[in-house]
């Protein structure tokens, strides 16, 4: 049995205090990569991330280094198939079910995989953007990732690289020879640089998006953190904001998090089984 299957099979007892907080409603979910690992998408800082030791692309390197961009798009061209083929797991479905029941005030996700929406959730604030879109750094036009993938296939006939492994955010590890033979494409409209519509390391989240997340956090009855180590300030700031406003913080994660000191309660458990138990309590 695989680790994913074992985690899905593992029974989780949800504390009554957590169930009561969620049942009170007005819950704002803040989700991280740990929510998607059970869908086969690795993370940077959890156990799958530690095994890969990935070095993420920075905005500065992407915009200034043509060879770095070639490497990114070659690896991303193959890795995107893995992300696009991923399906929501029990955790994503449970969050969507909580929203359907009217218990959620909002969903903020640090993930870029679109699995919340694929599970049926709506109004999701994608803090770090989404891999299913591409933006031109010249004219600002946003286009579907599928359209770019068609253009990349046309520009690289016969390119048949095989990834050694898949890193976070759809980054497929390739040989130097495979990267060198790959031809990226530029914006079809203006010839500008294309970039996935996600926030790279070293890039700032748009201020308006941050303000929306702060406002949502302030109005929450509970801030429920799911699958995030809260290592980076991007998500951690909302936990601190909730704590400053006296809003209860609950955290479900594999292992300790940076926000534990601000939490009313924490649960160290696999996300899918824990959230499944939360929406389907034992009678």
Query: What pLDDT was estimated at residue 10?
Result: 67
Asked about 116 being catalytic, the answer comes back as no
* Angle at 168 (CA atoms; ends 274, 236), nearest 5 degrees: 60
Residue stretches of the annotated binding site for Zn(2+): 136, 139, 187, 190
What per-residue confidence (pLDDT) applies to 181? 95
Distance (Å, rounded) from C-alpha 189 to C-alpha 82?
A: 28
- β 142-144/129-136 pair status: antiparallel
Binding-site annotation: residue ranges for NAD(+) = 110-113, 227-229, 253-255, 271
| Tens digit of each residue's pLDDT, the chain (283 residues) | 334 443 445 678 999 999 999 999 999 999 999 999 999 998 755 444 444 445 678 999 999 999 999 999 999 998 898 899 999 999 999 999 999 999 999 999 999 999 999 999 999 999 999 999 999 999 999 999 999 999 999 999 999 887 666 665 666 778 889 999 999 999 999 999 999 999 998 899 999 999 999 999 999 999 999 999 999 999 999 999 999 999 999 999 999 999 999 999 999 999 999 999 999 875 3
Q: What is the largest CA-CA distance in the chain?
A: 60
Runs of H (alpha helix) within 162-252: 176-180, 207-218, 233-244
Q: What pLDDT does residue 175 have? A: 82
- Token pair, residue 40, equals 């086969």
- The binding site consists of 110-113, 136, 139, 187, 190, 227-229, 253-255, 271
All structural domains of the chain, each given as residue ranges with its CATH number in brackets, are: 1-41+87-128+204-283 (3.40.50.1220), 48-85+130-198 (3.30.1600)
**Phi and psi, residue 194, nearest 5°:** -95, 145
Q: What is the per-residue burial (b if ≥16 Cβ within 10 Å, else e) of 135-161? A: bbeeeeeebebeebbebbeeebeeeeb
Catalytic residue among 77, 92, 116, 128: 128
């Amino acid at each position: 049995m695989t680790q994913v299957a074992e985690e899905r099979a593992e029974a989780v007892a949800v504390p009554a205090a957590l169930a009561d907080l969620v049942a009170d409603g007005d819950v704002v979910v803040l989700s991280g990569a740990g929510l998607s690992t059970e869908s086969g998408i690795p993370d940077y800082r959890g156990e799958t991330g530690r095994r890969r030791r990935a070095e993420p692309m920075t905005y500065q390197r992407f915009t200034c280094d043509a060879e770095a961009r070639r490497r990114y798009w070659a690896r991303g061209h193959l890795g995107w198939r893995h992300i696009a083929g991923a399906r929501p797991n029990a955790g994503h479905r449970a969050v969507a079910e909580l929203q359907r029941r009217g218990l959620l005030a909002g969903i903020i996700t640090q993930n870029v995989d679109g699995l919340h929406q694929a599970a049926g959730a709506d109004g999701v604030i994608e803090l770090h953007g989404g891999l299913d879109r591409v933006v031109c750094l010249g004219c600002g036009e946003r286009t579907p990732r599928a359209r770019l993938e068609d253009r990349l296939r046309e520009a690289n006939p016969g390119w048949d690289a095989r990834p050694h492994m898949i890193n976070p955010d759809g980054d497929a590890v390739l040989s130097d020879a495979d990267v060198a033979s790959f031809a990226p494409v530029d914006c079809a409209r203006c010839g500008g640089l294309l970039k996935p519509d996600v926030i790279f390391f070293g890039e700032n989240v748009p201020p308006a998006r941050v303000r929306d997340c702060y406002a949502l956090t302030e109005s929450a009855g509970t801030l429920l953190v799911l699958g995030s180590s809260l290592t980076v300030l991007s998500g951690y700031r909302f936990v601190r904001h909730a704590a400053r406003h006296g809003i209860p913080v609950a955290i479900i994660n594999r292992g300790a998090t940076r926000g534990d000191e601000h939490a009313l309660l924490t649960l160290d458990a696999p996300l899918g089984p824990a959230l499944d138990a939360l929406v389907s309590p034992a009678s």
